[in-house]
Structure formats: C-alpha cells, structure tokens
Amino acid sequence: MPPDRPLRVKFWGTRGSIPVAMTSAEVRRKLISTLMRASGRRLETPEQAAAFLERELDFSISHTFGGNSSCVEIVTGQRDYVICDFGSGARVFGNEVLATRGPSGQRFHAFMSHLHLDHIMGFPFFMPIYTAGNTVRIYGCHAELEQAFRGQHAAPFFPVDFGRLPATIEFVRLEPDRDYDIAGLRVRPKLQRHGGDSYGYRFQAGDKVVVYSTDAEHKQDDLTEIKAFAEFFRDADLVVFDSQYSLAEATSIKEDWGHSSNVVGLELCQMAGAKRLCLYHHEPVSDDERIAALLAETRRLEEITRAERRVEILAAYDGMEISL
Amino acid sequence: MELTPKRYVDTVVLSPVGRIDHSTSEDFKTALAPHMARCAEGQDRVILDFGGVEYISSVGLRVLMLASKQAKAQRGSLGVAALQPAVREIFDISRFTMVLDVFPSVREGLARLSPKALTAFDAA
C-alpha cells in the first residue's frame, strides 16, 4: 500500500457529452444581475470587488461551472502527473503544465473511463505530446484503447498523424477488479454500464480514497450491481459521479443512454459510507443556474434522507480543487 | 406489502404504508402487478394513496415508472396522491412530478380520473 499522503483533486473539465461555452446572452444576464446587486455599494478597489463577488453573489452569478469535457487530475504530491480522461479540459491542463514546469521532462499517467469522443478529444490539443522528453502513459481496459487515440489523429480528422508525435506515448491495458500500484496510487478499475462499456477507478493513497465514476448507468432494481458499486465506493473521501440526468429521465426517455442521476449517486454514497459526493459530467443544456439548483436540491435530498453519516455534496466546476 | 385496495366504481385506491426501498420494493411491485394488469382502457383506474408512505428510494420510484409505462401502454389511468412533505420533495427532486400524475389528495385524484368514483367516494 502506498504511504499516507494528502491527496488533492483538480477538475479541468466537468461537462458531459460535448464541450459548451457560455453565450453572450448568458454573460449579459450575469453582468446585469451583478451590477444591480452592486448598486450603491462602494467598490473602489479590485480587492473590494472580489470580496463582494465571493461573499454576496451566488456562485451561479459570479462564476461559471464551465464547459470543458471530462478531465480530472489526482494530485498525489509526487512528481508524476495523474489524470482521468482526456476530454477538452486536458488542453487547459497541458497548458498549465507547460507554464509551471516547462515544455519537457514530464511524465503523465492517464486513466481512461472509455473512448467516446468527449473523453479523448483533448488529447490532440494536449501540448506536452508535441515535445520530445515527455512521457504519456495511457491506461484503460478497452481493447481499442490505442486504436482510438491513433484514429482521431489520422486523416481526415486531424492534420498531425499520431506517428509524428515527439513525446513517448505508451498504452497499458488494465483488467477490471484488479489492484495496480501506479504513480504512488493503488488503482482498481471497475466495469460500468455504458454503451461500449466504461470503467470507474478507485484510487487510494494511504487512507485517502477517490473514486472516479463517470459515464455509468445504474439499474436500481439490480441489487447485486448496486451492492457491488456501494463496495467500490466504500468509505471513499470523494466520489466523482456522473449525474447528467434527473432520475425521471434516467428511468424513462433516457433509459439505457448510459448515464445516472444525483439521486442514485447520493443513495450509493449513503450505502457506501462515502464522505463526499461530487456531481459531475453535467448535462450540456444545463446553464449555471440549473446546475446550482441541482446542487441545492441534492443537498436538500441528503438532509431529508440522512441516516447516520452526513454526505457532503459538491458540484464540480472547471478549476475546482478539493483537498482530502 | 399490503395495499388494502378500496374500489370506488371504476377506480381502485391502493394504500401502501411505510418505506419503499431496496428491502420492500419487490414486494411493492408484486402487490401492484395484478392491479396494474387491469389498469387499462375500459377497465380500472388506479390511484396510489401515498399518505402512509414515509420514504421512497430510487428503486421504489422505478417501480412507479414501470407502472406508469404499463398504464400508458394499456391506455389506462394511474395517479399518485396525498404525498407526505418529504416524499413530495423526493418526487420533485427526482422530477417524478413531471412524469407521473400527482394529486394533493385522493379526492382530487378521483375528481380528475373519474367523476363516478368521486361520487362514490364522497358517499362512502
């Protein structure tokens, strides 16, 4: 077992299915709300303005949940980088690495939930792959792991063929339900219900546990499966959970579309004794107000269904960091 | 699970009690099945009186969704009525109020589904 060490989790992309950007109309609505709330206030310095934003405005007005697709970093305190998925958020992550550590000599470990476009589309824009001396090791359970990454670099999809990438890029097939020690973490993949399959990952460093479980549908009447996921989430400090749909959608018109809900995520975390549930893989049509409302509703649901232990509820946003 | 059915002309009112979760949902589903089989055009309308239900989890809501789908396929009418405040919140948060017919009371449900049944209910 790797040694005791604090973990941090940083979210670079939190949107499901496709990246989205705020529209001009949405920015304007936020500005109007902010200016009206600030009316008559003395905001003469950047510090006063920042304090006003943080203390007196709702998150959905003063910030945005963001629009990049899936990419989450597990910060281990070691030199190597660990991420989950190569969605469009990986572009921002790669640029941050270049800015803080320079262009070369970095080693990255990327755990792939699956190979749908929104989870691999950031790779061609991940700048470290264009510099010799960087190593990117991509882990996953799908047989088509390497093929998918090579395929999106091939003509006519992208102008730079995979074979011309200067960085060292390696693919490592994992098997579900096996423990691996990688980059200072104990890692266990688990098969999830999703079109073409997806895999969740349970990461452990010392007594800290993070579960990354996105693009997963849960059938509530399959008790064996529910118990298996509760075990996978057991005592986790943080569960990053696909809550793209409402429960009603996930059990009706969007059944078998491969995603889950805030309600099922909370129930699984309650069964598992998990400490925090982070709503993730946000529905692309949801604006900031809608995601903020989802967060408030899930917190309320936790209150009225709490048995013994409280589950802290969070909603992921691009740039959010959590220390465990 | 005992549903204590009460008939008002063409409408059956069922009254589950307690918690509908992983430990009781199969029983709830089994008890509901014969009533849903007759929840069809020209046969029975069904109202679930949830006044005695303290909690419903996602698996219980899934039973209701399946029942609703069955009723629609059979051109029948299914309603849920008299939700306790916490259960009403669970329905709202899960968006089940958008896919099921939810009524404040059994009486209001009967008024919507069957005027004949309402008359019988008021006379009882």
- Cβ–Cβ of B58/A263 closer than 8 Å? yes
In DSSP notation, A63-128 reads -----PBSEEEEE-SSSSEEEE--STHHHHHHHHHHHHH-SSS-EEEEE-S---HHHHTTGGG-GG
Query: How many A×B Cβ pairs under 8 Å?
Result: 58
Of B63, B89, B95, the CB nearest to A300: B89
Residue A277's H or E segment, with its range, is strand A276-280
Q: Chain A residue with minimal CA distance to B94?
A: A247
Q: B122 CA to chain A: closest CA distance, Å?
A: 34
Q: B94 CA to chain A: closest CA distance, Å?
A: 5
- The answer to ipTM > 0.90 is yes
Alpha carbon distances (Å) from B24 to A1, A41, B21, B92, B110 = 40, 56, 5, 22, 27
Q: Chain B residue with minimal CA distance to A295?
A: B93
Chain A residues in contact with B61 (beta carbon < 8 A): 220, 247-248, 251, 263
* Rounded Cα distance, B28 and A276, in Å: 31
Q: B56 CA to chain A: closest CA distance, Å?
A: 10
B65-104 pLDDT, tens digit per residue, is 999 999 999 999 999 999 999 999 999 999 999 999 999 9
Of A226, A252, A261, the CB nearest to B65: A252
Of A220, A249, A300, the CB nearest to B62: A220
Q: Note down pLDDT in tens along chain A; length 324 residues.
A: 455 567 999 999 999 999 999 999 999 999 999 999 999 999 999 999 999 999 999 999 999 999 999 999 999 999 999 999 999 999 999 999 999 999 999 999 999 999 999 999 999 999 999 999 999 999 999 999 999 999 999 999 999 999 999 999 999 999 999 999 999 999 999 999 999 999 999 999 999 999 999 999 999 889 999 999 999 999 999 999 999 999 999 999 999 999 999 999 999 999 999 999 999 999 999 999 999 999 999 999 999 999 889 999 999 999 999 999
Pairing of strands A238-242, A276-280: parallel
Q: B115 CA to chain A: closest CA distance, Å?
A: 29
3-state secondary structure at position B23 = coil
In chain B, the DSSP E strands lie at 6-8, 11-14, 17-20, 45-49, 52-56, 78-81, 101-103
Task: Determine which of A226, A263, A266 to mutate to test the interface with B (most B C-beta atoms within 10 Å).
Answer: A263
- Cβ–Cβ of A305/B90 closer than 8 Å? yes
Of A221, A252, A263, the CB nearest to B93: A263
Q: Are A136 and A129 in contact (CB under 8 A)?
A: yes
